[in-house]
Amino acid sequence: MSNIINIYESLLAHYGDLDWWPATTPYEVIVGAILTQNTSWHNVEKAIGNFTGRLSPKFILETGNEEIAKIIKPAGFFTQKTKYLKNVAGWYEKYNFDVTIVQKKPLEVLRSELLGVKGVGRETADSILLYAFGVPTFVVDAYTIRLLERYGIKIGKDYEKVKAYFEEEIPKDAKIYNNYHALIVINGKNHCRKKPVCENCPLYDHCQREGV
């Protein structure tokens, strides 16, 4: 059994099924993925709350930039993120804002399209595909790379290489990818921080703690 599967099973046994992403609709996931860039989730929740039930791709496309910027101000970079939200909503409009139509397209096509949308990087694109549409694509973030480094798995920091490594080692399943990324994040926040808190970490017995 690979280290990657061992890590997953240890984290799952400790935290259970986390059932990410915290959102009421797929489109809210898309918006959250844009707004969470360079800010905390707490600020994203404030911004999403400011929509007061109006959050939809049509609202984003039909509302002026200044009004949207005021709504999302708690998430920071609000002028820039307003443009990004409109860009992604424009992409989604091509699919008639229909999740099932998006899901019929090949992953490679969807990912390429999203990466061509200004304001959408690789982590954001994979987050949208995985969490909003249930497409099996692994999300890599700073917590993921830090975990591999401390575990002594020498893949480097290249996003595509890390993503490929996870996808080769574990079954191609959206639910597993969803839960695994969530588990890495929560453990990263609780234990595998920049200044680690190794005590009571569920990975303590096997982690090499390189760089600690």
DSSP string for 124-173: HHHHIIIIIH--------HHHHHHHHHHT----S-HHHHHHHHHHHS---
User: Residue 22's pLDDT band (boundaries 50, 70, 90)?
Assistant: confident
Max distance between CA atoms of the chain, in angstroms, equals: 54
In this predicted structure, what is the pLDDT of residue 19?
79
Q: Would you call 7 helix, strand, or coil by DSSP?
A: helix
* Enclosing H/E stretch for 193: none
Average pLDDT, the chain: 95
Q: What is the mean pLDDT of residues 159-171?
A: 96
Query: What would the pLDDT profile of 37-50 be if each residue is shown by its tens digit?
Result: 999 999 999 999 99
| First and final C-alpha spacing in the chain | 26
In this predicted structure, what is the pLDDT of residue 207?
93
Q: Is the pLDDT of residue 211 over 80?
A: yes
In this predicted structure, what is the pLDDT of residue 21?
85
Total residue length of the chain: 212
Q: At 194, give phi and psi (nearest 5°).
A: -55, -45
Q: Is the pLDDT of residue 81 over 70?
A: yes
Question: How far is the C-alpha of 173 from the C-alpha of 5, rounded, in Å?
Answer: 13
Question: How far is the C-alpha of 178 from the C-alpha of 64, rounded, in Å?
Answer: 34
Q: Is the pLDDT of residue 1 over 80?
A: no
Question: How far is the C-alpha of 163 from the C-alpha of 172, rounded, in Å?
Answer: 12
Two tokens, residue 76: 């920071």
The one-letter amino acid code at 74 reads P
> Which CATH fold would you assign to the domain 26-133?
Endonuclease III; domain 1 (1.10.340)
